[in-house]
C-alpha cells in the first residue's frame, strides 16, 4: 500500500481532507528563537519592531513591556522608559525602579505580554506572516538566562513567551477564518486587517 501524504493545515481551517491525504501529523522540531543573528529573532521583544499602544509609539515590545510595570502607578516613569534608546536600557531602568512597579505585576505580566504580541503582530504584516508560517510547531524562547519567559539554561523553563506567541498565532488563524466566513478569504498577502 502506498504511504499516505500528510495534510498539515490547522484543523480550524480544513472542512475536509483531500483524497490521498491523512490527518495524522508529522511532528516537526520546535522553533527556537532568542539570538539576534538567528532566524526568528523577530519574535523576541528586543527585536527592532515598534509597537503602538494607546496613541503612543514604543520603539520595541520590550519598551512597552517595561513601561506597563508603571503605567497605572507612575505614568511619568512609564513615559521615561518609552523614551530610552534601547530595549536593554528599558529593561535595566525598570529593574532599577522595581520598588515602584505595580504591586500585582507578577499576577498580570503574562496578560500584558499577550497585549504586546497582539499589537506587534497585527501592526507588522511581515511578522504576522512569519508567525503563521510556523504552522503548528512549538515555539521556544531559547534564553539561557530566563526560565520564566524562556526555557532557561537547562531547557526546562516555563517558556511563557513561546506559549503566548502560540496563543496569538491561534487567534490570528481564527481571525483569518472569520474573514473567510464574511466573504473575504485570506490570500496569504500581507495586509492590515
Give the pLDDT confidence of 72-123 residue by residue, as tens digits. 999 999 999 999 999 999 999 999 999 999 999 999 999 999 999 999 999 9
What topology does CATH give the domain 28-181? Tetracycline Repressor; domain 2 (1.10.357)
Mode of pairing for the β-strands spanning 56-58 and 31-33? unpaired
Average pLDDT, whole number, for the chain? Answer: 87
**Residue pair 18/7 in contact by the 8 Å Cβ criterion:** yes
pLDDT digits (tens, 9 = 90+) for 149-165: 999 999 999 999 999 99
Q: What share of the chain is helix, strand, coil (3-state, %, to 5)?
A: 45, 10, 50
Domain ranges of the chain: 28-181
pTM equals 0.80
Amino acid at each position: 500500500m502506498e504511504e499516505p501524504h500528510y495534510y498539515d493545515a490547522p484543523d480550524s481551517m480544513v472542512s475536509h481532507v483531500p483524497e490521498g491525504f491523512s490527518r495524522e501529523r508529522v511532528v516537526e522540531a520546535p522553533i527556537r528563537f532568542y539570538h539576534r543573528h538567528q532566524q526568528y529573532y523577530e519574535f523576541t521583544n528586543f527585536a527592532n519592531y515598534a509597537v503602538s499602544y494607546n496613541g503612543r509609539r514604543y520603539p520595541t515590545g520590550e519598551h512597552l513591556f517595561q513601561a506597563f510595570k508603571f503605567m497605572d502607578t507612575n505614568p511619568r516613569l512609564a513615559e521615561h522608559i518609552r523614551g530610552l534608546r534601547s530595549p536593554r536600557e528599558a529593561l535595566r531602568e525598570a529593574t532599577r525602579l522595581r520598588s515602584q512597579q505595580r504591586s500585582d505585576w507578577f499576577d498580570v505580566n503574562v496578560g500584558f505580554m499577550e497585549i504586546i504580541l497582539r499589537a506587534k503582530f497585527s501592526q507588522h504584516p511581515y511578522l504576522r506572516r512569519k508567525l503563521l508560517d510556523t504552522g503548528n510547531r512549538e515555539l521556544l524562547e531559547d534564553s539561557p538566562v530566563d526560565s520564566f519567559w524562556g526555557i532557561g539554561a537547562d531547557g526546562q523553563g516555563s517558556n511563557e513567551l513561546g506559549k503566548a506567541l502560540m496563543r496569538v498565532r491561534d487567534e490570528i488563524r481564527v481571525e483569518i477564518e472569520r474573514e473567510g466566513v464574511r466573504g473575504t478569504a485570506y490570500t496569504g498577502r500581507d495586509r492590515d486587517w
